[in-house]
Structure 1
Amino acid sequence: MKIVRFIRSKLHYKMILIYSLLTLVPLIIVSATFYVTSKEILEHNVDQSFKQTMSETSDKIDGVFKAFANEASDIGDNLFVYTLLRNAWNPDQYPLSPSERTALTERVEAMLWIELGNMGKNIGDFADSIHIFDVQGKQYFAGAESEIQYYDAIVIMPFEKQGIPEWAFFIDNRRLICNLQLVDSATGTVLGSLVVLLDPIKVTALYDSYESGSFFITNASNIVMSTDNQNRIGQLIPTQAMGDTITTELKSKSTGFKYVSRIPVSEASAGIRKLAVFSIVVALASWVAVIVITYYVLRRITSPLATLSNLMRKAQKENYQLIENFGSHDEIAQLCHSFNRMIIETKELIQKVYKAELEQKEAQLAAIRTYFNPHFLHNTLEYVSILAKSKDKIDRIPYVVKSLSSIIRFSISPGEAFVSLDVEMKFAKIYMQIHQYRFENRFEYHIDLPDHLKQVEVPKLILQPIIENAFIHGIDHIRGKGRIDIRAYESQFNLVIEIEDNGGSAQPRARESKGMGSGLKGIESRIRLHFGNRYGIAKLQGEHGMVVKLLMPIIMKELTDVSTEKEIASP
């Protein structure tokens, strides 16, 4: 028992045990070496045979394609064709009467049918149709009546040399395209195009010596142009696992196509498998025994490592889990114990850091609120005191007091630190109404709040200090009519609130200051504490006064706080 326990506690001895078991099967190693060596020799010989076959097939296909290109050139030199195309290009310079044009059209189409028949006799029954297009897009054709799918691509297809037929790098309804640009020899003007389309099914006869699905004609981008499986035409050539097939490729110098053959290795190595059957059967029993033993031994070694690796990947994504059920006492078990200790310490550290940051932010926010509320209350009560001294305005005090009561109740009531923008705007409206009682006809305000932004979440009491600054440093000091405009809109998926006043001539030095007072700094601190440093406040000089711009993210409130809305309801 002591020896077993000692071996279990040392990974080194476990590996010695595995290698000792593997030395019991030299016959398997010899048989595998023989099989691999023989396979490489046979594959080399078969590869040479495949290359020879590919060369013969490619020459055959190139010969057919070259013959079609020559036929296309002969058709393009036809006088009737050029006469018809020149008339379409410039009817004033090359005039034709209607009867002459009709006669030429009939001659050209009859000639195309004759040429299509000659192609079938001289080259083979591969052509599907012949088409001629003039510069106006009019078509003359012979053969199948299926329409051209990619006419625009045929027209703009680039050519290396004018007047030389080229095979397109794309297909049209699975048909190969031989395209010839018809050019006026006198002026060099393109008069039209001549297109020969090859039937996709009939073309497969050129390589019918290959097994189904083993031969492909592709373009330079490995798009299948022709194969016996019609569904694969127009798609990328299918990928094959390394070692599953013997692939032979040859590029055509005349067409630019690639010819690809893929022969399964199983077919090529049939001979070597027969030679190796005897040695494999002899070694099979020993091989199975070693695999079984090695499997169970390695499983106990690799299973904890695999689990540990998986948990490490989860830890990278901040999903911390402990590894459990490792029953050994070796180095792997010690590694698992160390991992568990690291995870426990990491989680404890995260909790400590998070708690410290949270307490710090709460303390900062509490300090801001402590500064903010008394300042607001003092200024508002001062406005009420002014109204109380006027006999003709004393009847407004109940309305002002009621408004003030709503504002005070809203500002000091416990609850969430955020409210909807609609609620905050209603609070600002009531606050400005108090000032409107004071200024009478010398002050007006306007609030522009789109409906889709009403439920955006904003910090509570974020607008009041800005409005208060507008009165203290601007509107209180002008002789004319004061005005405050509050606008809310969306910009680059963020919420922008602008508070603009018309106190431009009041206190020039203070109004032109680029800095911000403690009130505005407090607002900016709150915004950045809640949303990050990319958001905040900006003070700009407007056309008639100061513009204060707030930038915050758009976060929608899930539920509307009805009680809060009632607290700031207009009197």
Structure 2
Amino acid sequence: MKKIWFRIVNFYKNAKLNVKLLLTITLIMVATLVLVLGGLQYAFSLYDEQIYAKSSQVLMMSSNSIEEELERVEEVSYNIAVDPYIQKILLDLQENVEGYDFYRLEQKMGDALEKYIDPENYIDSIYLYDSAGREFLAGDSSNPIQQKDKELAFSQADRYEGKNYWMELAGNNGDLISVRLIRSYGNLNFENIGKLLVRVNLNRIVSDLPKPHGEIAGNIVITKGDEVFYSENGMDDFKEYHFMAQNAQGYSIEDIHGERTFVNHITTDFKDWTYWSLIPFNMMFSKITAAKYTLVLVFMLMFVFLISLGFNFLRKITDPIQELAFTMQEVQRGDFQAVNLLNPAMVDEGEVGILYRNFITMIHRIDELIQENYSKQLLIKETEFKALQAQINPHFLYNTLESVNWLAKINQQEQISSMVEALGHLMRYSTNFNQDFIIFEDEIEIVNSYLTIQKYRFDDRIDFQMDIPAYVKKYKIPKLILQPLLENSFKHAVEPSVDLSVIKLQAYQEEDRLLIRIEDNGPGIDPLILKKVKEGQVNPKGTGIGLNNIDDRIKLYAGEQYGLTIENLSGKGTAITVVLPVQTG
């Protein structure tokens, strides 16, 4: 962690001025944004608690209203069970009446039950069963109770022995049944004479509740345990959501079907039901969310504005400094003309302007000193070059004259004419000190003249191969570079050998460098010996200045990164590579 922190601090210290500005303003804005968002989040949490308190109050009032209505239904159920007229009918039905007598009692029972069907009590239908299990119905008969629900209701009625029991009908959203055992009270024997089922429409009770409008108006769901048996907006939306109340009262923000929802719940003593209030979060906090995003947008706009203002303010300082730093780098690379691009008139008269003008004055003075010293060095190098040029090995001239003499005496043929012509061509180029650089194509003419003479001398013992691209022929090179290298190959490869000697001359370009390579299949030259010759540690055979002369000339003309390299081809000959800068002008 310390290393990371050290790297961050070091990066900030070494960063440019505009980068430091960006980082500083960004840090300030981010810190401010974090503090504001933290305060907003705290305010939102307080707002959540207020919403929870309000929604809990509404939910409590709703649950109390629902339970009050259900208690009224319980009261109606009790009144039916103890109604003397209904009890008398149930006792008469125990005497195995049939036919018309049963029909008459059935009509009486229906009329008695109809008196208790009151829309204000939210009772849909009343089912009464005598001791023989015969059913008497009053109210809505369009949705009868399933047989399995009847059997469960009968067992619960026997279990509670006359007390009321509320049973939820599975598969029916909000349908409840008040179950009660009817016992005889006339002679106080408490004989079981029937069972009473009162069907209540819970959805009608909930829909008639006074509900708030706006943010805290949501969907009411009622569960028993973790099973949902009623939802105000239908049961389909909560098939995959698991309602589990860990506390008797609380709230949370849940993801229901991909939508954030404010969920508030309260558990009552009435049948251990849990009432849930589900309010879409986006609907409840739409205004707050809009305010939050608006605030973030304002901060982002302020951030951009401050960054722009800061950069515009400091550009007058940073841009001249950066331009000055760039010019210094160009001067460091050797381009003293880059200082002419600086315009002191565009800079204020402050510290930066003084730095501008002093730097320009200093560079002009340095450039004058360099030009003066450079002229002196050029004169010295030109003198050295003329001295080196005058030291061309006369060994070739002696051998050529010897060959001409030999041909003249022995053969007396016209070949002498061509040899003398080639020799004259070579002599003219080698003794012309007025032209130091020639195009590659002219240097090849010198090579051809040299080869003309050597072919007469060595006859069929020479196989010369040349690969020069057309574009290379237009490049300029120092004069008399190739001929001394070929002379070196003839001296060390062709003369000592009686077999066929192969000499290859090729040229190619790599980026901005021109490479000329000459290979032979002679015995090779040990580079260590050549190095010792150049350093004066070994006395060379002959003059020993051929290759050194070329290498020195190239370095004087192009620089130390150019020159000759010698490669011993492991007993298969020698390869000499000349590295020159590409020059067309």
TM-score where L is the length of structure 2: 0.40
TM-score where L is the length of structure 1: 0.41
